[in-house]
């Protein structure tokens, strides 16, 4: 592919976050290239959500630097990131329950990167986004009645409505059935193919290795490994982090 | 691409019904005082329209944006005193109302800058403190007469209908502003902030600036109402217009009528304005207790207020027919 197209979209340098004396994320650096699906995995407590929150503007880093879409975004609030072209989804869905599905998505169009004041434009773009994630039939239903799977799709629709260049997804397959997970991963590929880079945090190894172009593994807040899904699955350090070391006949 | 009409949002009443109700209401409010004409009746309706205005204004911030403020007496009082000072300074009363509105809006921004960093109950508590602090300051400020109040001396003769139609016009302006906001991008952003401030920010809504903006609009309408009241009363004092009770009344009306709707605060304002006279006259000692009890009952049994209750009844009635 053209080197220009596959330039860097997100560059994280030495990112660190302390909670009290504990470093939840320590000195993590990585780079996401355009039109990749970049996965971040790690065992529970590895610092995935902390790292994600800092990149998504929900948490201010203690140290380090984030550069996204050609500008420094370290510590910028999320509504500013949206205007730059970075949107996120939530691990635990947070729809605006009292609003309709369409209104939920319309807000994203209204206040997104290419923000508009035109109600008709906002409605049409919102319907189009709903169609692309497959819940346009629910447009006029209140968001509160949606099933978990549908709410996860609404999360993605709302983020996509802001027309991001970089989509940050936090454990979007949590709580989904096997077939729903498959459909969700298919949707992620479609989003990437339509020109949006995806950074995807997940602890489900199977889900992430099947969809990601590149994966970074976190453990105890540090970067443990990075590579293609095949490289990651073979990496002894990763296997050790997930499965532990081989027992040595009772001796320590 | 536009959706078929059958896909229209089914939860909302058709536009022509609300339009017809609005026109009928305005005609009634114009004709009734002229026909009945008794000074006392017009006074009651005048005060009620002012309450309707403040109720609509409070709902913009407290209903749509979900920021419960006990401090609207500050804007009512600032509007009242600014207008009073302006009229005594020989400024045209209608220009004086505008000055009252602008002064209240400016104050709202100054108060919003620190308080909108707080959330939920902490914001509400801060507004209580500010409201009381402003009242105490105003009772000690010399040039407005302190606690003994301030008198407005207007060269023109008192014309009750002029006051009444000013209040009616202001209430209509407030209603139009509220309806426009409810339908627009701004209103949708506010509703998002009410439900989940962080999620709203994650789709690009700046919670802080949007709250400041709606606070200023609400304050301007409340300040104008305070100004219209001041000119009518010709005498204002801090424990009245700046009274904590005033702030509670302004909050109570939209809650009674139905919060976060366009028509709820209007209904609440009318019910409160008309009933309050009676309650205060009949139960002067315990009328605040009655309000407190009413507030608890509404929150426990019908958080949607009167309008929510009516909608529920209609929904059940329709459900039985099918």
> With pLDDT > 90 as the criterion, what percentage of chain B qualifies?
71
Task: Give whole-number Cα distances, B147 to A36, B89, B103, B133, B154, in Å.
Answer: 69, 21, 21, 14, 22
How much is the pLDDT for A248?
A: 67
How much is the pLDDT for A3?
A: 43
Is A110 close to B7, i.e. CB distance below 8 A?
A: no
Q: Are B36 and B234 in contact (CB under 8 A)?
A: no
The verdict on A146 and A207 lying in the same domain is no
Task: Give whole-number Cα distances, B171 to B84, B118, B222, B226, B263, in Å.
Answer: 20, 31, 10, 12, 12
User: Is the residue at A68 inside a domain?
Assistant: yes
The verdict on A58 and A115 lying in the same domain is no
- By C-alpha distance, the chain B residue nearest A123 is B2
C-alpha closest to that of A166 among A42, A25, A59, A11: A11
Nearest residue, CB atoms, B196 vs list A78, A96, A111: A96
- pLDDT tens for residues B16-31? 887 888 899 999 999 9
User: Is the residue at A207 inside a domain?
Assistant: yes
- The greatest distance separating any two alpha carbons of chain A, rounded to the nearest whole angstrom, comes to 71
How many domains are there within chain A?
2
For the CA atoms of B15, B17, B20, B26, what is the dihedral angle to 10 degrees? Answer: -90
The verdict on A81 and A3 lying in the same domain is yes
CA distance A95 to chain B (A): 8
The verdict on A122 and A24 lying in the same domain is no
Tokens read off for A162: 């802001």
- pLDDT tens for residues B274-287? 888 778 888 878 87
User: Is the residue at A188 inside a domain?
Assistant: no
Is B198 close to A78, i.e. CB distance below 8 A?
A: yes
Low-confidence spans in chain A with pLDDT less than 50:
1-4, 251-252
The verdict on A70 and A173 lying in the same domain is yes
Tokens read off for B14: 């058709």
- List the CATH number of the domain containing A32: 3.40.50.300
The verdict on A70 and A172 lying in the same domain is yes
User: Is the residue at A106 inside a domain?
Assistant: yes
pLDDT over 70 (residue B166):
yes
Nearest residue, CB atoms, B189 vs list A98, A100, A111: A111
CA B161 to centroid of chain Cα atoms: 22
How much is the pLDDT for B4?
A: 39
User: Is the residue at A238 inside a domain?
Assistant: yes
Question: Domain range holding A122?
Answer: 92-163
Q: Which residues of B touch A79 (CB under 8 A)?
A: 201-202, 204-207
How much is the pLDDT for B276?
A: 83
- pLDDT tens for residues A19-64? 998 999 999 999 999 999 999 998 888 999 999 999 999 999 999 9
How much is the pLDDT for B322?
A: 52
C-alpha closest to that of A221 among A20, A65, A43, A89: A43
Q: Are A178 and A23 in contact (CB under 8 A)?
A: no
How much is the pLDDT for B277?
A: 79
Q: Are A47 and A54 in contact (CB under 8 A)?
A: no
How much is the pLDDT for B280?
A: 81
What is the mean predicted confidence (pLDDT) over B133-139?
Answer: 95
The verdict on A106 and A143 lying in the same domain is yes
The verdict on A3 and A66 lying in the same domain is yes
User: Is the residue at A184 inside a domain?
Assistant: no
User: Is the residue at A227 inside a domain?
Assistant: yes
> Which of A140, A163, A186 represents a domain boundary (last residue)?
A163
What is the mean predicted confidence (pLDDT) over B294-308?
Answer: 86
User: Is the residue at A76 inside a domain?
Assistant: yes
The verdict on A5 and A51 lying in the same domain is yes
Q: Which residues of A touch B308 (CB under 8 A)?
A: none
C-alpha span between B279 and A173 (Å, rounded): 58
């Amino acid at each position: 592919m053209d080197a220009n197209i596959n330039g860097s979209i997100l560059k994280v340098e030495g990112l660190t976050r302390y909670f009290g004396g504990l470093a939840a994320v320590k000195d993590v650096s990585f780079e996401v290239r355009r039109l990749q699906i970049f996965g971040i995995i790690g065992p529970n407590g590895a610092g995935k959500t902390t790292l994600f929150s800092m990149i998504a503007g929900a948490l201010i880093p203690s140290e380090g630097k984030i550069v996204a879409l050609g500008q420094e975004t370290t510590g910028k609030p999320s509504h500013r990131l949206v205007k730059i072209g970075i949107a996120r989804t939530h691990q635990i869905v947070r729809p605006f329950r009292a609003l309709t599905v369409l209104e939920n998505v319309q807000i994203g169009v209204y206040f997104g990167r290419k923000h508009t004041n035109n109600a008709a434009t906002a409605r049409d773009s919102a319907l189009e986004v709903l169609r692309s994630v497959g819940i346009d039939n629910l447009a006029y239903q209140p968001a509160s009645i949606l099933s978990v799977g549908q709410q996860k799709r609404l999360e993605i629709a709302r983020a996509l409505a802001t027309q991001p260049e970089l989509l940050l997804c936090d454990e979007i397959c949590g709580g989904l059935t096997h077939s729903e997970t498959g459909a969700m991963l298919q949707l992620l590929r479609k989003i990437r193919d339509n020109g949006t880079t995806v950074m995807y945090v997940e602890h489900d190894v199977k889900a992430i290795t099947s969809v990601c172009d590149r994966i970074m593994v976190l453990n105890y807040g540090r970067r443990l490994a990075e590579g293609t899904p095949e490289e990651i699955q073979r990496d002894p350090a990763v296997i050790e982090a997930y499965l532990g070391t081989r027992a040595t006949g009772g001796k320590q | 691409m536009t959706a078929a009409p059958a896909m229209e949002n089914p939860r909302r009443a058709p536009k022509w019904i609300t339009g017809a109700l609005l026109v009928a209401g305005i005609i009634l409010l114009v004709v009734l005082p002229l026909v009945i004409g008794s000074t006392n009746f017009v006074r009651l309706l005048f005060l009620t329209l002012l309450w309707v205005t403040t109720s609509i204004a409070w709902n913009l911030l407290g209903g749509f944006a979900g920021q419960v403020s006990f401090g609207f007496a500050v804007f009512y009082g600032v509007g009242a005193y600014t207008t009073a000072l302006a009229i005594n300074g020989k400024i045209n009363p209608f220009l004086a109302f505008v000055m009252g509105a602008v002064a209240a809006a400016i104050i709202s921004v100054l108060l919003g800058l620190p308080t909108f960093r707080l959330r939920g109950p902490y914001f509400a508590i801060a507004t209580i403190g500010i409201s009381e602090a402003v009242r105490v300051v105003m009772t000690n400020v010399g040039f407005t007469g302190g606690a003994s109040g301030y008198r407005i001396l207007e060269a023109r003769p008192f014309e009750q209908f002029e006051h009444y139609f000013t209040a009616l016009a202001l209430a209509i302006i407030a209603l139009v502003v509220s309806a426009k906001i409810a339908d627009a991008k701004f209103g949708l952003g506010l509703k998002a902030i009410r439900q989940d401030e962080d999620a709203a920010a994650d789709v690009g809504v700046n919670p802080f600036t949007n709250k400041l903006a709606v606070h200023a609009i609400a304050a301007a309408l409340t300040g104008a109402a305070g100004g219209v009241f001041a000119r009518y009363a010709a005498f204002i004092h801090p424990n009245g217009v700046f009274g904590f009770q005033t702030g509670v009344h302004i909050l109570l009306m939209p809650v009674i009528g139905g919060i976060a709707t366009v028509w709820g605060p209007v209904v609440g304002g009318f019910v409160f304005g008309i009933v309050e006279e009676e309650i205060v006259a009949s139960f002067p000692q315990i009328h605040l207790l009655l309000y407190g009890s009413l507030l608890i009952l509404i929150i426990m049994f019908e958080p949607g207020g009167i309008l929510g209750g009516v909608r529920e009844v209609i929904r059940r009635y329709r459900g039985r027919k099918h």
